Every structure is written in structure tokens, then in C-alpha cells.
Amino acid sequence: MPERTLLFAANARESGKPQAFRAFAGAYIAICRERPRVREIYAFPDLHSGKIGTLTLILHTEDFQMITWHEELTFDFSDPVSNEVFTENCIFFDIETTGFSPARTDLYLIGCATRRDSLLCIDQFFSENAADQKNVLSAFLELLSGYDTILTFNGIGFDIPYLKAKCKALHLSDPFDAHSYIDLYKEVSRFKFLFALTSYKQKSIELFLGIDRIDAYSGGELIEVYKEYVRHPAKDSLALLKQHNYEDVLYMPKLLPVLSYPKLWEQAFSLQSLQASEYRSMDGASGNKELFFTLALQYPVPKPVSFSYDDCYLSMSGSTARLRVRLFEGELRFFYDGSPKDYYYLPAEDIAVHKSIASAVDKEHRVQANASNCYGKKYAIFLPQYDAMFSPVFREQPRGRKCYFELSADFAADPAMQMDYVLHLLETMRSHRK
């Protein structure tokens, strides 16, 4: 083994980079059995900072070549959800292939991002031809063995099934069932109604968060670049292939703040204030009333979002969410739980009365009640509800999910009731998203 490679391995071990050392050493040892020679090892500047930070090891045998890159850079973990989710037991990864079918396409690049204290560590394993897929996958699996949780963007939908199939085809042990997963794409997809984006690809989420890339290519566009590189290796082509995968894994951790939005539905907030106010409607009418809940978020959101459903309007910005609920002031009906046959309907009063009381009413002023008119009435200020959570339940019609309850002094003074109501509205907005 050349002296400079030994020096790198020693430095990696001494500087506290066990995962990087295992990955590099594991790849080297695997190839060493076939009497490889190290072609080159060098450092080159980070395109973003201009600082020397990436170590590149190119191993070469008569049969194949494998290139690995390792870089460590400072990363801002001040965002609460990023710091909580992305622990040192987690690994991000992304793969590059020549197509979707693992049986008919090649795996040519795997990029990984891990955390060590406040550092982001990026490792990439590149195959210079199809014959080296097994070695690239073996080197990745060696790195993966040191982590419990896989963080990915649509990896459950593509990357994981693809690699499981490759493990089977290449006679490698499949370790993926032993890991837990957080798929950012699936988490974001549950809340599309909040983001209202035209696309939910990784680059679209990056643009939403204000992340700008140097890489301007998609994985599909780079397939031909890789095929051309296999035929005619060139540094420019290699740089394009590396950069795309590098930015995928570099920016995956920067997507983590989007997980702050779902935290609202996990009750990661406190009720800060409750206020009634009046507003002018779109048609210019004044005197309309609304109830205004202000929520203090435990996980600040990176970008403002808003969403409306029926009488509810939700906005989130920074550490605050506001939930506005349109109040109904007027007369509503409360339908009796008993059988209509036990009631008389009084047309003049437009109410139903139990027969034990209404028997004294003249027959010409009463009729047998039915399901549509077996109700009492009350004039008050009401809040909408979409299940019968609070009683008595008031309605405009006998059927339908939407109903109301009275805005009472008890509700205004009870934080527990208010919290239950806010959670009810949030779940209604999520489950009835457009």
C-alpha cells in the first residue's frame, strides 16, 4: 500500500472519523485481494466555500475502478427539528442509476450524509463501469452498518427497493429491514394542502425553502452523461455526475425544517391567546364576528404558509400559528335525540314539543313531528364543529357533518376545551384537504 494512503487512513482514524475510515478501508481491503494499486489520492476545494475539504481516493485494478469522495463541513443544527431528527445514529443517502429497473440498469453512484457533532460528513462511492457495482454497494453497506435510522427523500419508493434487488442479484446480505426510516417525501406529501406546490420533487422543496443549487441537471438527464463517461472518461463529465449527487445529499439535511409543519398536528404548540373580533366580509358587509386563536409553536416553521377550509383559516409564520374561525350569530336548531313520534311540531312557533307538554295545544295548531322538524331553536353566537364534540349540538339542517355549539362563558374560560377544539379543527382541515 502506498505511503500516502497509509497516511490518509491514519489521519482519518486519529481525527475521529471512524465511519469514513471504515468505508475507505473496507473498500480498499476488498479490492486489495485482487492486487490493486492506488491511482491517486488528493484534496480539492469545496465549490461553495472555496476551502480544501474533500478527499478523493481512486482505486484501480485491471477489471474495474472505484472512486470515493469524503468531505466534512460545518452544518447549522440550530433548527430544533433538524437537531432532534438528524442524530449521529442517522444516515441520509441517495443513489444514481441508469434507469428504474434494477434488473436492467446499473447502479453507478451512492452518496451519503452523516453527522458528527456539528459537522456534516459526506461520502460518495462512484463506479466507473458496470462491473464495479458490487464493490460500490459493498462499500456503502459497510458505512450503513454503523447507523440505525435511514433518512431519505422518496427512498422508500425507489432507492430502498432498488438496492434490495441489487443486493439479491449481487449475492450481498440485505440489511435494510433492520433499519428504521424517515422519508421526507412521504412526510411532505401528507401536507400538500399547506404547501400548494406544483411539484414535490426534492428540487421543488428546496426552492420552497429558498435553497439554490449549482447543479442544474436531473438524474434522468445525467444517464447519458454517465454512459458517455464509461466510454470516454473525462473530468468534466465526472464533475457533473459527482456534483448532482453531492448536492442531493448535501441539501437533504437542509430539507429537515419542513418537518416543523406536521409538528402542529402533533400538538407541539401551546395556546397563547383567544380573542373575538369583527371583520368586513368580501361583499363589504361589516359586523361579522370571528374567534382568533394564537398558537405558540415549539418548532418554528421556515416559510409562511396558509390554508383555509370552510369557516376556518390557518396561517403559520416563524414561531406563531393563527387559527381564525368564523362565528355564526343567529338562530339555529337543535334536533332532539328521541323518536319524532314522541313529539308534536308546532307550525306557528316552528319548533317541536314533547307530547307530554304539547297535548294541551289545540289540534289545529299541532301536527305529528317527523325527522326534519323535530327540533328546538335558540338564538346565540355559535362555533362550527365537524363532529358532535360539544353538546348541545345545533344545526341548520338535520343531516350533514357540519354542526355548531354555543360560544359560552364556560368555553371561553376553559383552556382544555379550547385545546380540544383547536385540535379538532386542525384534524378536520388536514383530513378534508383539497
For the chain, give every domain's residue range.
3-260, 328-406
Q: Which CATH class is domain 3-260?
A: alpha beta
Helix axes of 235-251 and 223-231: crossing angle, nearest 10 degrees: 140
How much is the average pLDDT of 169-192?
Answer: 95
Least confident of 17-31, 91-105, 308-322: 17-31
Which residue has cell 489520492?
41
- Rg (the chain; Cα; Å): 31
The confidence score (pLDDT) of residue 8 equals 40
**pLDDT tens profile 242-294:** 999 999 899 999 999 999 999 999 999 999 999 998 876 666 666 789 999 99
One-letter-per-residue 3-state SS of 228-271: HHHHCCCHHHHHHHHHHHHHHHHHCHHHHHHHHCHHHHHCCEEE
Cell of 236: 468534466
**pLDDT tens profile 48-93:** 444 444 555 554 444 446 799 999 999 999 999 999 999 999 999 9
How much is the average pLDDT of 151-162?
Answer: 94
Residue 408 CB-density burial (10 A; 0-12 exposed, 13-18 middle, 19+ buried): middle
Q: Using the predicted structure, report yes or no on whether residue 410 has a pLDDT greater than 70.
A: yes
Q: Using the predicted structure, report yes or no on whether residue 181 has a pLDDT greater than 70.
A: yes
How much is the average pLDDT of 112-121?
Answer: 95
The confidence score (pLDDT) of residue 285 equals 66
